[in-house]
Structure 1
Amino acid sequence: MGRIGEFFGNPGCRPDVCQRAPIVVPNFVLESCAGKISHEEQSSVVSTSDESSTEYGTVTVGDNGWIKTSRGFTGLQKDLTDRILDRLVWIAGTEYIFFTMWAILIVWIVLGCVYGGPNVWQVVMQDGQSLQCYFWDTLLMRQQLTSAHEQKVICGIVRSRIAGFKKLARKSRLSQKVDENEVTVTDAAVDMDLSGKLPIENWYDKLANWFSIIIGSLYSMIIFWIGIIIWIACGVIPKPGENQPPYSGETTGSNPRLVKFSSTWQLYINSATAVVLLVSSMFLQNIRARHDKFISKFIVKIFAADREIEERLRIDAGDFQTANPAVKVISSKRTAGQKIIDFYADVVGTGIGVVIAIGAIVAWLSVGKVMNWDDNWWLIIGTYTGLIGFLDGFVIREVYYRIVRDEERNYEIVAQEDLELFDLLGINCPEQFNGKPPNGHKKPLDFKISTWINRLCSSQWSVVFSIIVIVALIIAASALHWTTTGQLLANTPTMIIEAFFMIVLIQAHNWADCQRRVELTALLGRRQIILHHLDRPPTVVSKEE
């Protein structure tokens, strides 16, 4: 109970992270070592609620780009459950899952064509997709939180080394002051792609890129809502319903043959949005997995370059003992509402969320016989997972928006400290390597509109709105005694909004991930410039020339 008590004792914990990069000592100094110090970086996670309880952990960056931390995003020691969930996150973004999901979708379509698309056929897709999204939300939430924690740790390690570089540079021959009118010119040929585009390795990557660009656009949002409006308009047209003869009339009486806004009409949009959610979530998981892989490989290169820079500076300064300064990466301040949201996010993104999900499924299966496995029973799990998934969609967007802002702030600090190091070394940093968009770059109108929509959907008040909607839908469904119509009433609005949120989320990931790739590419470029500077004697020329 110690771990569970620790988790619930500090709900929504987002600890500060302290880093001290290990000393890199040249081989000729450590003759007993076969090579340089390993990739392991010492880190300490300091709980903001009790700074006296400092515990040390490790983060390891493998040559394949796999990042492993001994502590998770809550500051707790990782256990077997965490490692299993991390592996599941990786598996969810693989091509095997992608092809499996498409195979299931094709089989479902074929069965619908063979049997004429009965209601049960539609409900099966909705239930299956709801369960898939229910578990995918857990994996996506965990992926976001884990990646954010890893990036915080990485920023701390890089900043610790930069602080060490500054100390060593002041002790070395490079510490000579450079006249403010003179700078060291570097002609380093850094051939790097600063577009932030993901590398394409095969047709699947190309398809995923194309889909993410198309679906994550303002035009897709517009088309989506046009489709919803058309669907609502079709509901006004009387069509054969589920009523049985004798009829009270064509469209009149208590048992008409033709009805408006029938249950079948609601099932149509539920099935359509279920397919949208299924396909979108698969592509989003793949895009995130490829982005993390890209980022990890760059981090390996950045760490290697930093170790090489430190080794050269230590040789030049003759200092092989001074430790790199410890750096604390401060977590952003949060409101009480944001802490509650983070606690819920932690529940979703940890083993607790999985246990709750499995418990709900077991309970649903256990009442199947009692309900004679009828349509209402089929809809129960879809209604439950739909309502929870509806809330999860708002929470994921709100949490991700804050994660993006924190990462931007942390990498801005890294870039600023890098530029201070450049000034100390007397190096000009080309503008394209400062990690920022070029000056004078105007953003198109559709980007501004999409940004506004993203911010609106990412507010903590949007989470409050989702809770109010859920309560209202539960009251409405209860008034209808949770009949098929009542459950569809609770299902349909949530699935529509959840599908829209998936489009918004893909768009947000596209923008944020691209910017992060640009920042890390620029970070590596700055290291190459420093290494080029250390490779040759400094040449001092006048700016006036």
Structure 2
Amino acid sequence: MMDRLVRLLRKPGSKDAVEGIAPTQRIKREEEEGSENITIYVMTPKRAILDRWLDWVVRASGSKFVFCAILAGLLTWALLGIPYGRTDTWQVIISDVQAIICYVFDSFLVRQQLNEYDNEIRAAAQVQSRLISHARMLNALKKEINEQRSVHGAFENSPLDIQERETALPEDTKFGRAIGLCARILGHLVTSILFWAGVIIWIGVGTLRNWSNDWQLYMNSASSALMVFVFSFLANIHERHSTYMKRCLDAIFCVDSRLELKLRELTDDNLQNQPVVIPPPRVNWIQRTIFYYADFVGTLAGIAILLTVVAIWVAVGPILKFNANWWLLIGTYAGLIGMNDAFVLRNMQARLSGYVDAEHEKIDKEDERLFNSIRLEIPTGKEHADNSLSSRVSRVMCRISAHELTVVAGFLLLVGLVIGASVMRWSLTGQLLCNVPPSIIESFFMIILIAGHNEEESRKVAELQSMYERRLRLLSFVKRFEALRDSSAHPPQKLAVDSTFLRSVSREYEYLPSSIAFASDLRKRGRRLSVGHDSTVPTSD
């Protein structure tokens, strides 16, 4: 029992090996009946019912409806703040509500990133699985391919088939493109500069307001409102990104399945696709601790802890007489945890995406090896990197913010804020100390998260686009080879002309240059012949 408990406690944070096997494409015989071949990417559902339910809730949190509802709520809060916004109670209540919403979205965003990694790494394993079959069958056809190339020359350079001229992946929806534009604006370097300019102006105003609690509450309310918007925005773009990636993977798997089926028809190969196991990434103990915390937050345990904390907070309300300190308690807790989660989210975003990129690089190398084996020119990938000053600075900021030591620094800051508030005996000022700086830092990290998402989405789309074009090129090549092989197996028969006809033509056109006369008459009379049959041509008209 104790060993089982230890294994259960050690499981979070460890990335297990991922096994993937592409659905084998079966050649359908006329006399056979059965299920259709699977030609799209099928995501693996969670086993536990509660996990599937939580995934549904997470998907709903990133829906267009929830995003619009959050915007409507923020607008209502801003309008009601005109008559009620000057009271401390109003600002504290709004701060608490926003902190709880952000804490819930923290857990949802962690789970979104874990689900995205799981789906993308399994898809990469399935592509590698099918690549093994492609290499085996193309190797069996290599001798015939070389023979056809020696006869017909570089037949792979002929124009693409009509149905294969469209080499672009599916387009995003209009709403998705609009959200993508907003993401590029929010993740731009100028937005980060404006954010910190606003913080500096607020600090400058502090001397005029004697560093009062009201002065701190204004920033706390503004940063909390910004966080609610950014969190809901991030949930929406993550869900939209997952949906769009699924459409792109479906397009790639569809072409890859057609290629596999065509090769099986040419080689009569019935071997199943082999499973591919992607080993777990090697991480240091700091990264393992971060993953441990993320797995804990992104599961039902994290939601259960949040509900427990809220229940305890409500229970102690009568003891504290529902005063301002009591109202700030839940906001303080959610603010501190939210700041730590922001550091963890950025680290996860970079690390998990890096693991998927490493598997895509393996696919690129295997594709290159496959193209070289059949002496086929590989399509050149499109450059997706933006080398502008803003993008270079943003990438540097993203790398720094994603480092493990940055997460450690964020945790030490959290401990320092708790110590400072304890020295102040958790007074109103002490709790605001644990609310305002974490809100500012968390808001900035959310902007960094958007910038990181933009960079990674552009890179992934470019990688999938190159993968898609390579498979279209292979499919077109194999179809041309099939057509040439069929024509070689059934060559057109020559026109049969008897000797009587030749003597007749020779006598009639003695007075003309023999070659011109013969060719002219042969064209006229040859139209009446049936190509492919032995025909005796009459000697006269």
TM-score relative to the length of structure 2: 0.83
Matched residues in 2 for 1:175 and 1:338: separation? 51
User: Cα distance, 1:306 vs. partner?
Assistant: 1.9
* 1:384-533 alignment, distance < 5 Å: 384-431=333-380, 434=381, 437=383, 443-533=387-477
1:183–1:427 Cα contact (<8 Å) kept: no
Deviation at 1:29, TM superposition (A): 7.5
Match of 2:316 in 1: 367
Percent identical across equivalent pairs? 31
Give the corresponding residue for 2:58: 89
In the superposition, relative to structure 1, how do residues 206 and 158 fare at CA in structure 2: closer, same or farther (>3 Å)? Answer: closer
Q: Per-residue deviation at 1:193?
A: 4.1
2:234 is aligned with 1:266: no
Q: 1:161 aligns with which of 114, 117, 130?
A: 130
Inter-partner Cα distance in structure 2 for 1:85 and 1:306: 33
Q: Distance in 1 between matches of 2:180 and 2:273?
A: 41
Which residue does 1:24 correspond to in 2?
25
Letter in 1 for 2:379: P
Q: What SS does structure 2 have at the residue aligned with 1:69?
A: coil
Contact 1:186 1:529 in 2 (8 A): no
User: Secondary structure of the equivalent of 1:268?
Assistant: helix
My pick for the range that moved more, 396-405 or 531-540, is 531-540
Q: Distance in 2 between matches of 1:303 and 1:174?
A: 27
Q: Check 1:30–1:523 CA distance in 2 against 1; reply closer, same or farther (3 A cut).
A: farther
Structure with more strand by fraction? 1
From the superposition, tell whether residues 370 and 324 of structure 1 become closer, same or farther in structure 2 (CA, over 3 Å).
same
Give the C-alpha shift of residue 218 in structure 1: 0.6
Q: Which residue in 1 is equivalent to 2:282? A: 333
> Using a 3 Å threshold, how does the CA distance of structure 1 residues 145 and 531 change in structure 2: closer, same or farther?
same
Distance across 2 between alignment mates of 1:396 and 1:508: 11
2:103 equivalent to 1:134: yes
Contact 1:11 1:340 in 2 (8 A): no
Corresponding residue of 1:233: 204
1:296–1:429 Cα change, 3 Å: same
Q: Is 1:297 aligned to residue 247 of structure 2?
A: yes
Structure 1 500/453 Cα, relative in aligned 2: closer, same or farther at 3 Å?
same
Residues 24 and 311 in structure 1, CA contact (< 8 A), matched pair in contact too: yes
- Conserved in 2, the CA contact under 8 Å of 1:186 and 1:533? no
Deviates more, 1:282-291 or 1:173-182: 173-182
Q: Measure, in 2, the Cα distance between the counterparts of 1:520 and 1:150.
A: 14
1:93, 1:289 within 8 Å by CA — same for their partners in 2?
A: yes
Q: Note the C-alpha offset of 1:287.
A: 1.1
Which residue of the partner structure matches residue 534 of structure 1? 478
Structure showing greater Rg: 2
C-alpha deviation, 1:183, in angstroms: 7.8
Question: What is the alpha-carbon distance in structure 2 between the residues aligned to residue 518 and residue 531 of structure 1?
Answer: 20
Question: 1-side partners of 2:237 and 2:143: how far apart?
Answer: 43
Structure 2 gaps of 5+ residues are: 485-541
Give the Cα–Cα distance (whole angstroms) in 2 for the partners of residues 175 and 333 of structure 1. 44
Determine if the alignment matches structure 1 residue 79 to structure 2 residue 66: no
The equivalent of 1:246 in structure 2 is: none
Aligned twin of 1:218: 189
The secondary structure found in structure 2 opposite 1:18 is: strand
Distance (whole Å) between structure 2 residues aligned to residue 119 and residue 418 of structure 1:
63
Cα deviations by residue, 1:249-282 (Å, 9 ceiling, x for unpaired): xxxxxxxxxxx11000001111111111111111
* Amino acid corresponding to residue 377 of structure 1 in structure 2: W
Distance 1:464 1:186, change over 3 A: farther
Q: Does 1:379 align with 2:328?
A: yes
Find the residue that maps to 2:24 and give its secondary structure: coil
SS in 2 for 1:172: helix
Shift of the 394–284 alpha-carbon distance from structure 1 to 2, 3 Å rule, reads same
The answer for the alignment partner of 1:283 in structure 2 is 233
How many residues of Structure 1 are paired with residues of Structure 2 in the alignment?
A: 477
For structure 1, the residue ranges without an aligned partner over 5 or more in a row are 41-59, 62-66, 71-77, 240-259, 541-545
1:123 aligns to 2:117 (yes or no): no
Which secondary structure does the structure 1 equivalent of 2:44 belong to?
strand
Describe the superposition over 1:389-420 as per-residue Cα deviations: whole angstroms up to 9, x where unpaired.
11100011111111121121111111221222
3-state SS in 2 of match to 1:388 = helix
- Tell me how far 1:68 sits from its aligned partner: 3.3
Distance 1:206 1:125, change over 3 A: farther
Cα contact 2:39–2:257 (8 A) shared by 1: no
State the distance in 1 between where 2:456 and 2:39 align. Answer: 27
> One-letter code of the match for 1:388?
I
Task: Give the equivalent residue in structure 1 for 2:532.
Answer: none
Shift of 1:200: 3.3
- For 1:302, the aligned partner's letter is I
Q: 1:524: how far off?
A: 1.9
The answer to which of 322-331 and 388-397 deviates more is 322-331
> Given the two structures, how large is their TM-score scaled by the length of structure 1?
0.82
Residue type at the aligned position of 1:285: A
**Residues 112 and 118, structure 1, Cα contact 8 Å, conserved in 2:** no
The separation in 1 between residues aligned to 2:464 and 2:143, in whole angstroms, is 26
Matched-pair contact (CA < 8 Å) for 1:12–1:346: yes
SS of the equivalent of 1:68 reads: coil
Whole-angstrom distance in 2 between the partners of 1:358 and 1:209 = 33
C-alpha RMSD of the superposition: 2.5
Separation of aligned partners in 2, 1:413 and 1:183 = 29
The equivalent position to 1:201 in structure 2, one of 169, 174, 187, is 174
